[in-house]
Structure 1
Amino acid sequence: MSEVEFAPPPTPDLESYGPNVAYNRERCYQLAQGFFKDAVRRARERHERQKELKLRLENPELLSRREQIWSHSGKLEAKYLRFLRTKEELSNYTVVKTIGKGYFGEVKLVRKRQDGRVYALKRLFKSEMISKEQLPRVRAERDALAESDSEWVVKLFTTFQDNASLYMLMEFLPGGDLMSMLIKYQIFSEDITRFYTAEIIMAIEAIHNLGYIHRDIKPDNILLDRGGHIKLADFGLSTGFRRDHEKSYYQTLLQRPAPPSGRPQNNRHSVNIDEISLTVSNRAQINEWRRSRRLVAYSSVGTPDYIAPELFSTNGYSFEIDWWSLGTIIYECLVGWPPFAAETFHDTYRKIINWPHTLLFPDDIQLSYNAVHLIRSMINAPDARLGRNGAAEIKNHPFFAGVDFTGLRRIRAPFEPPLTSDVDTSAFPVDDLPQEEGFGDGGGSGPGREGVAVGAEDPEMSLPFLGYTFKRFEKSYTA
């Protein structure tokens, strides 16, 4: 019997279908890729757990308990599989307090009804994500936190969504953030600065090892856990690849004319800030500036004080931009304000671009030679910046002589938050935030929203976020 010959398939002409077809094709590709990537990862993790269990059962001391241990492990695996199939929704949680608000969403302290555990639940409004073209930020943060299992990065447990919002269930870090610490203590000693800087180096290195650039290292995104040790958060600006930086918001601002004298644009402070007026004698002024800057951090604009000059150019950038940001934080911890603080965003940008002439150290603040050298080495040109060849060259700087980077979490932190309960929010500026019962308005019409009828799912609010759901395997399931 002769073989049947078929005509060759037609060559697809994607350009004739319009942009929507090309977009949907790309989204389907990403969804399928993410689905199978997660499936393969879970299968590998399950295989590894089985191998570890078999090795453990080879111990002669466990001979009499082998059947019991094997049976118990099987039940835990079944419990985990049920956990994966369980749909997350707002009704699974009760709100304790609002602990953060931003332009695109909010963060609430919540307690899980099933087991009473406490979490931080971050909610992002889909309408704002779409209208402000923030979808890449959402995906970047989700992917970075999902891939990370580092003790230096805030842990993401699960992500879910309803018709109006995206939700990220994360560990609650009751120590607040580094900005709150700077507001409270105003200035750090070199020993305390060395401790926090060493921990931040470990956190940035963990992210870089995954192939991510954070791009938004600042005191607001450095959180403190129950023991006072740091964890890195907020990966909305992170990117997982090297790229040429397209014409950005920062470049556009640089091209604007300077504000007229006496009428500054984007005035973000209640006091005049420049390199001349910033001295030890006006710490009250500095703290007022910090509080004003925190309000800016909650806006859609953000704060530019810590960003590297490469972000203003079209020459591209890489991992070393995070080390510039750390250099500015070290400066702020030791001096009391960021090195390029100014009255307007425009002036801050200009100072950053002209950093060789604007990086100044006040005469009335005494710093060691190693501290100044470290700062100047990190606030430097990309091809000469300390850290361009990896975190190891920063760790080897004389400023960190004697620091055991692998044992930092075994050292008692300089400041331990005095917590009174598992829902203590005294380290957060909750008094400045409106507190509402439950999840409030804007929470969507999904099944978890209390007091609101379940509405029909809107494809425009669901299709862009396909594949967003994530669940982390918790060690408690195999304990």
Structure 2
Amino acid sequence: MPAPVLRDDGLGPQRSEYSSDSACRKGYPGEPQAVEPSPVGLQDFMAVKKLGFGDSGVVYLVKHKLSNKLFAIKKMEKEFLDSDAIEMLLQEQRALLKVRDRAGLLRLEASFHDSECFYHVTQFLAGGDLRGQMSKCGRLRPRHALFYTANLILALEMLHGLGIVHRDLKPENIFIDADGYPVIGDLGMSKHRSFTSRPPSLQDQSGCGVYSAPEIFLGKSYSFEVDFWALGVMLFEMLCGRKPFSDGFDGLRESVLHDPVVFTPRDRVDIHTQIFVFHVLQKDPKDRLSPGAMKRHKYFRGIDWGRLAHREIGAP
């Protein structure tokens, strides 16, 4: 067996106790148990660098020793995970397995654990995330915003077709692949549509309340429409370099529930784009555009949806 990875690389010991299809450690009440050794473990990877921090752990760039391919590993320390965090971890793994090999959705390559941590191995996307793009540019060129939005509609259609509501769509969870296409990741907050419970409070939304739809703030039941609301907020932010609603904690709820969406002349956003955003950011989810209506909207005039779905259109 290879020598253990040094602790100062951040990844920890190499011993793996999970099957590749389970992120559950023995000793957690009510969690399924690993029934066979994992075909992949931490010993198969070499740490390259730390990429950043996610909502529930640290993400590293790693190289697979046998193939020399690059992957991302999210490391989550068991010591700091309560039962709710464990459930979110399992939700994310189930969702990632369900969407595996679906275009526009992050691909899970393996899951395993050692005595101290859980690990998710996913594809590495060299383009970073949408937040990084927006931070560099302030606001995106209209054709870039259009391209990202159109692709995200297709990805959400696919996700929703599997019965999954993402619930945590935000620029930090949109990654850019080597071809410039956006990919939706971080499914830890996702739920199957049949899931029914009290919607999470603002404090439980991992800091992304500004992308949350009015029905979540009102404590009402919600469904796929909350993801399209978040997409509308992101599109406004991509185009204008600011959010459409107050993001101060005290005023956020009132702003989302009552404030209109306002474009200014300085935003230089054309009328078809403005109308599209208005229709997506309707306070009542029943009034929001459906995916089909979105794709027929004049904002997307000239888009060949078939070619886009087959990635036959080059990124701008």
TM over 0.5: yes
Distance 1:300 1:197 in 2: 23
Q: Give the counterpart letter for 1:353 in structure 2.
A: L
CA contact (8 A) 1:339 1:359 kept: yes
Shift in Å, 1:92: 1.5
1:345 and 2:249 matched: yes
**Equivalent residue, structure 1, for 2:150:** 198
CA contact (8 A) 2:106 2:122 kept: yes
State the percentage of identical aligned residues: 30
CA contact (8 A) 2:199 2:216 kept: no
CA contact (8 A) 1:110 1:118 kept: yes
1:368 and 2:273 matched: no
Q: Normalising to structure 1: TM-score of the pair? A: 0.56
**Equivalent residue, structure 1, for 2:159:** 207
Distance 1:376 1:174 in 2: 33
Equivalent of residue 92 in structure 2, options 116, 137, 141: 141
**Equivalent residue, structure 2, for 1:430:** none
Distance 1:375 1:349 in 2: 19
- For residues 322-345 of structure 1, the C-alpha deviation after alignment (integer angstroms, 9 at most, x for no partner) is 000011111111111111143x22
CA contact (8 A) 2:166 2:191 kept: yes
Distance 1:305 1:118 in 2: 33
Shift of the 103–218 alpha-carbon distance from structure 1 to 2, 3 Å rule, reads closer
Distance 1:373 1:242 in 2: 32
CA contact (8 A) 2:127 2:177 kept: yes
1:386 and 2:289 matched: yes
Shift in Å, 1:244: 4.4
1:410 and 2:302 matched: no
Equivalent of residue 401 in structure 1, options 298, 301, 304: 301
CA contact (8 A) 1:104 1:128 kept: no
Report the secondary structure of 1:367's partner residue: coil
Report the secondary structure of 1:315's partner residue: coil
- For residues 276-300 of structure 1, the C-alpha deviation after alignment (integer angstroms, 9 at most, x for no partner) is xxxxxxxxxxxxxxxxxxxxxxx98
Report the secondary structure of 2:183's partner residue: strand
**Equivalent residue, structure 1, for 2:22:** none
CA contact (8 A) 1:223 1:230 kept: yes
Distance 1:92 1:216 in 2: 31
Report the secondary structure of 1:403's partner residue: coil
CA contact (8 A) 1:100 1:108 kept: yes
Shift of the 100–407 alpha-carbon distance from structure 1 to 2, 3 Å rule, reads same
Distance 1:135 1:86 in 2: 19
1:230 and 2:130 matched: no
Q: Give the counterpart letter for 2:305 in structure 1.
A: F
Shift in Å, 1:365: 2.1
Q: Normalising to structure 2: TM-score of the pair? A: 0.83
Shift of the 379–98 alpha-carbon distance from structure 1 to 2, 3 Å rule, reads same
Distance 1:318 1:103 in 2: 22
- For residues 141-167 of structure 1, the C-alpha deviation after alignment (integer angstroms, 9 at most, x for no partner) is 101110112121111111011122111
Equivalent of residue 128 in structure 2, options 173, 176, 179: 176
Distance 2:115 2:231 in 1: 38
Distance 1:234 1:247 in 2: 19
Shift in Å, 1:85: 6.0
Q: Give the counterpart letter for 1:144 in structure 2.
A: A
**Runs in 1 of length 4+ with deviation above 4 angstroms?**
none
Shift in Å, 1:248: 3.2
**Equivalent residue, structure 2, for 1:326:** 231
- For residues 39-64 of structure 1, the C-alpha deviation after alignment (integer angstroms, 9 at most, x for no partner) is xxxxxxxxxxxxxxxxxxxxxxxxxx
State how 1:279-298 maps to structure 2 within 5 Å.
none
Shift of the 186–126 alpha-carbon distance from structure 1 to 2, 3 Å rule, reads same
Which structure is higher in strand share? Answer: 2
Q: Give the counterpart letter for 1:364 in structure 2.
A: R
- Structure 1 or 2, whichever has the larger Rg, is 1
**Equivalent residue, structure 1, for 2:104:** 152
Q: Give the counterpart letter for 1:326 in structure 2.
A: L
CA contact (8 A) 1:88 1:160 kept: yes
- For residues 426-450 of structure 1, the C-alpha deviation after alignment (integer angstroms, 9 at most, x for no partner) is xxxxxxxxxxxxxxxxxxxxxxxxx
Distance 1:141 1:248 in 2: 16
CA contact (8 A) 1:103 1:300 kept: no
Alpha-carbon RMSD across the aligned residues, in angstroms, is 2.3
**Equivalent residue, structure 1, for 2:20:** none
Distance 1:353 1:300 in 2: 17
**Equivalent residue, structure 2, for 1:93:** 45
Report the secondary structure of 2:186's partner residue: coil
**Equivalent residue, structure 1, for 2:70:** 118
1:316 and 2:221 matched: yes
CA contact (8 A) 1:177 1:224 kept: yes
> What count of residue pairs does the alignment treat as equivalent?
285
Distance 1:370 1:337 in 2: 19
Q: Give the counterpart letter for 2:123 in structure 1.
A: E
Shift in Å, 1:107: 0.6
Q: Give the counterpart letter for 1:203 in structure 2.
A: A
CA contact (8 A) 2:211 2:233 kept: yes
Report the secondary structure of 1:332's partner residue: helix
1:216 and 2:118 matched: no
